[in-house]
């Protein structure tokens, strides 16, 4: 049996994820009329991002007023001195969302004692739900998943993230090192989905020079429960910070680390 606080939060997280995904999907069908702003190069935010996050924030804080909240669009909130915090990206992959591509998702994580202990992600366009909680394993649409078994990077496809903070030289070096080992890569514009693919056994691993906590913590929970090896993101950058992330099958983790420039 899980602890009651974990059971309660996991159940509500799954409910709120479904609600938020429905709201986001409705917005996606009306995306041509959305108000869009640029936060930076290749970094957009829309009315949909803000309204979906507002719904998630309201529901979670109403259910658990003792918890803190960290959202990409609204920042920190909730209880002071909380032992746990929700970390949310209402639409990870805003550009694919706005372009009508099926590579975006809603991501909700719960962090306690420096670890992501709940991670739920839904891709509204496909209906796929990735879900995990500490000690409960990882699932895709209710079916248990595990990472791929591999010892070389040419035995699978590696997800490679690239944000506006990644320099051309760093990206070129990652790609050169990957191809020198006959590895192939995938980038879909959503770090959360790419990392969830590792937990589902669809990618061999994922690397990125800079990713934010709200983009990756739910997916890192999934990967830990699926048997992946993950870099210590929270220990290095905190729940609201940003930096490198490496996650992958145990047999290729060191090779994945070596892809990133020092």
For the chain, the structural domain boundaries read 4-145, 153-257
Looking at residue 72, what is its pLDDT? 84
Q: Is 30 exposed, middle or buried (0-12, 13-18, 19+ CB in 10 A)?
A: exposed
Looking at residue 38, what is its pLDDT? 54
Same fold for the pair 4-145 and 153-257: no
Looking at residue 47, what is its pLDDT? 80
Start-to-end C-alpha separation, the chain = 43
If you classify domain 153-257 with CATH, what class do you get? alpha beta
Looking at residue 39, what is its pLDDT? 53
181 phi-psi bin (left φ>0, alpha ψ -120 to 50, beta other): alpha
Looking at residue 34, what is its pLDDT? 65
Cα distance between residue 257 and residue 248, in whole Å = 10
CATH number of 4-145: 3.30.540.10
C-beta separation of 24 from 90 below 8 A: yes
Report, as ranges of residue numbers, the positions in the chain whose pLDDT lies below 70.
Answer: 1-2, 33-45, 78-79
């Amino acid at each position: 049996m899980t602890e009651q606080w974990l059971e309660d939060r996991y159940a509500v997280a799954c409910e709120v994820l479904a609600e938020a995904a429905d709201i986001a999907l409705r917005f996606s069908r009306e995306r041509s009329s959305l108000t869009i702003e640029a936060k930076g190069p290749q970094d957009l935010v829309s009315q949909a991002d803000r309204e979906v996050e507002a719904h998630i924030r309201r529901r979670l804080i109403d259910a658990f007023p003792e918890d803190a909240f960290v959202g990409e669009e609204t920042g920190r909130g909730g209880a002071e001195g909380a032992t746990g915090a929700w970390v949310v990206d209402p639409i990870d992959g805003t550009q694919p969302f706005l372009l009508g591509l099926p590579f975006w998702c809603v991501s909700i994580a719960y962090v306690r004692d420096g670890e992501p202990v709940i991670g739920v992600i839904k891709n509204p366009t496909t209906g796929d739900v990735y879900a995990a909680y500490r000690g409960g394993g990882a699932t895709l649409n209710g079916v248990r998943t595990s990472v791929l078994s591999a010892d070389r990077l040419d035995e699978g496809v590696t997800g490679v993230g690239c944000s506006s903070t990644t320099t051309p030289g760093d990206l070129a070096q990652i790609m050169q090192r990957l191809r020198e080992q006959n590895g192939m890569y995938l980038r879909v514009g959503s770090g959360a989905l790419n990392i969830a693919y590792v937990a589902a056994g669809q990618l061999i691993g994922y690397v990125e020079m800079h990713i934010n906590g709200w983009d990756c913590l739910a997916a890192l929970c999934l990967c830990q429960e699926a048997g992946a090896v993950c870099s210590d993101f929270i220990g290095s950058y905190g729940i609201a910070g940003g930096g490198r992330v490496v996650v992958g099958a145990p047999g290729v983790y060191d090779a994945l680390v070596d892809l990133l420039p020092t």
